[in-house]
Amino acid sequence: MFTNIGAFPSAVLSEGDYLVFAKRGDQVYNREFQVIAGAAKEIEVLTTVY
C-alpha cells in the first residue's frame, strides 16, 4: 500500500491482482486491475462520467 498525490502517479508492481483507490474531495473512486509480468500498462481511474 502506498499514497501518492498528483495527476499522474506511477508505481512498479509485482504480478498479481490489485485494487486502486482515488479520492477527490469527499468522493472515493476505485478500480480493479491485473498486472501480468512483462506487460507495461497504464491504469486510469475516472472521477467523472462523460
Give the pLDDT score at 16. Answer: 95
Residue 11 grid cell: 508505481
Give the pLDDT score at 48. Answer: 75
Q: Looking at this protein, which amino acid is placed at residue 33?
A: F
Give the pLDDT score at 50. Answer: 62
CB atoms within 10 A of CB 39: 8
pLDDT tens-digit series, residues 3-48: 777 778 888 899 999 999 888 889 899 899 999 999 888 888 877 7
d(CA 33, CA 36): 10
CB atoms within 10 A of CB 21: 11
Question: Do residues 15 and 35 lie in contact, with contact meaning Cβ atoms separated by under 8 Å?
Answer: yes
